[in-house]
Amino acid sequence: MIRKARVGDVPAIKELIDAYAAKNIILQRSLSDIYENLRSFFVYVTPEEEVLGCCALHIIWKDLGEIRSLAVKEGVTGEGVGSKLLDAALKEAKDLGLERVFTLTLTPEFFKQHGFREVAKERLPQKVWGWCVKCPKFPDCDEVALMVEL
Give the model's confidence band at 143: pLDDT under 50 very low, under 70 low, under 90 confident, else very high. confident
* pLDDT tens by residue, 90-132: 999 999 999 999 999 989 999 999 999 999 887 776 555 555 5
CA 80, 85, 90, 95 dihedral sign is positive
Percent of the chain with pLDDT over 70: 88
User: Pick from 83, 87, 31, 80: which is nearest to 57 by CA?
Assistant: 87
pTM across the whole model: 0.90
Longest Cα pair distance anywhere in the chain, in angstroms? 44
Q: What is the mean pLDDT of residues 41-70?
A: 96
| pLDDT reading at 78 higher than 60 | yes
Q: What pLDDT, on the 0 to 100 scale, is given for residue 121?
A: 80
User: What CATH number labels 2-149?
Assistant: 3.40.630.30
Contact 41, 33 (CB under 8 A): no
Comparing 4-13, 84-93, 120-129, 141-150, the range with the smallest average pLDDT is 120-129
Q: What is the mean pLDDT of residues 72-82?
A: 95
